[in-house]
Structure 1
């Protein structure tokens, strides 16, 4: 059922950022997510950001895509990203220096890498920042370090059992958002592996889409 108003749907656009450790784009976190958003009345498209490249190349590419979507008439831009795609979504929403055309109004992160200061998920960090990244670079690409009271709202979901990107990543960002007084929702489900996508058939974790649907409609 389409629950978003026609006016709201026409003025909002969500960009889907699949995960894959900055090395690939996971197919089940791409078009299936955009299709689901369309079913709940939210126009969406998949953006396959540059891979195997250093920061800030993916961020700059995403900002260009946001600008393009805004030029096409979207007044409010939301991002939904998974794993490394969630990290990129967070960077675009939080990194200072965005122009008004590059601004992000809200973000949904699924089992996202949020910190480049932890040792997980190390392969993505090595691709994005390199083997010899300075502590300053690792800090400046960690989402919790970028939160300000003016940051946009976030919806964060994760599983407590995730072996690749532990829920510490969700807690770090959520703690920073709470400290900054930034509106947010956080759901850490007890069970489920990494890379669940829509999580169909994954027990209680499947509820993330129901919870996110309500939250997204509050943003649009």
Structure 2
């Protein structure tokens, strides 16, 4: 089904820093609109260690969101060999783009959430902690929009770039083989939460062997200290990369919990 959907280029003339003009050089969104007008939307960010984007964490998630009446957009962001800041540039642009074109899709521009998995969860938390209010003097009207999400949903996310709890593959794909310590510090996003960080719905599994649950716990702790609304669900057992978790009815409850959380917050 997703193959039938057109990719909307985030920069029609080519992305800043693009090394070519192929699909992997071209950040884009796939739109999954709904008939109902005036509700919020969710930008979906598949994971893949900043080296790929997992299909099962894209279109199926968008279709679930459509099923609860929400417009969704799957983000194709740049991954390795592209490095920081390209993925963040793409995610910020996606928020601005959806907000700028909200009227076209019948979306409330003040209810744009970002939902991401694993390394896509890191990108989700990055855009929730490294945002700006837009640049009013920009010639491109999209760039005048704020890139601050109104909520974030990190799913089994990479949060910290510090050992021993980081995901080494994500760290190296994003920052290179010898990461600049100051960059790794500033994108250990548990250190970047402030009282203005958007509310979060976070879930993880306690025995995740790829991305330790400490990532989610560190983020929740930072939210708690800063008195930002959040909800945290830790399932006792479950492998990494579950997506909708259709094979595990217990963990599959995350979609119902997340959907009701978004709706309670006005989506």
User: What's the counterpart of residue 114 of structure 2?
Assistant: 79
Output aligned runs, 1:184-195, within 5 Å. 184-195=230-241
Shift of 1:45: 1.1
In the alignment, is residue 41 of structure 1 matched against residue 69 of structure 2? yes
User: What's the counterpart of residue 253 of structure 2?
Assistant: 207
Output aligned runs, 1:24-39, within 5 Å. 24-39=52-67
User: What's the counterpart of residue 63 of structure 1?
Assistant: 92
Q: Deviations over 1:45-64 (max 9, x none)?
A: 10011010211111111111
Partner Cα separation in structure 1 for residue 148 and residue 35 of structure 2: 23
Name the SS of the counterpart of 1:102 in structure 2.
coil
Shift of 1:134: 2.8
User: What's the counterpart of residue 176 of structure 1?
Assistant: 222
Structure 2 runs not aligned, ≥5 long:
1-33, 135-144
Name the SS of the counterpart of 1:101 in structure 2.
coil
Shift of 1:171: 0.3
Shift of 1:135: 2.4
User: What's the counterpart of residue 6 of structure 2?
Assistant: none
Name the SS of the counterpart of 2:250 in structure 1.
helix
Shift of 1:68: 1.2
Structure 2 length-normalised TM? 0.77
Output aligned runs, 1:135-146, within 5 Å. 135-146=181-192
Structure 1 length-normalised TM? 0.93
Name the SS of the counterpart of 2:97 in structure 1.
helix
In the alignment, is residue 150 of structure 1 matched against residue 196 of structure 2? yes
Q: Deviations over 1:147-193 (max 9, x none)?
A: 00111100000001110001000000000000000000000001110
Partner Cα separation in structure 2 for residue 58 and residue 81 of structure 1: 13
User: What's the counterpart of residue 159 of structure 2?
Assistant: 114
Name the SS of the counterpart of 1:86 in structure 2.
helix
Name the SS of the counterpart of 1:193 in structure 2.
coil
Number of positions where the alignment pairs a residue of Structure 1 with one of Structure 2: 215
Partner Cα separation in structure 2 for residue 37 and residue 60 of structure 1: 25
2:150 pairs with 93, 101, 105, which one? 105
Shift of 1:103: 1.6
Partner Cα separation in structure 2 for residue 13 and residue 208 of structure 1: 18
Name the SS of the counterpart of 1:149 in structure 2.
coil
Name the SS of the counterpart of 2:41 in structure 1.
strand
Distance 1:47 1:5, change over 3 A: closer
User: What's the counterpart of residue 54 of structure 1?
Assistant: 83
Higher relative contact order (CA 8 A, sep 6+): 1
Q: Give the structure with higher Rg (CA).
A: 2
Structure 1 runs not aligned, ≥5 long:
none
Shift of 1:98: 4.7
RMSD of aligned residue pairs (Cα, Å): 1.6
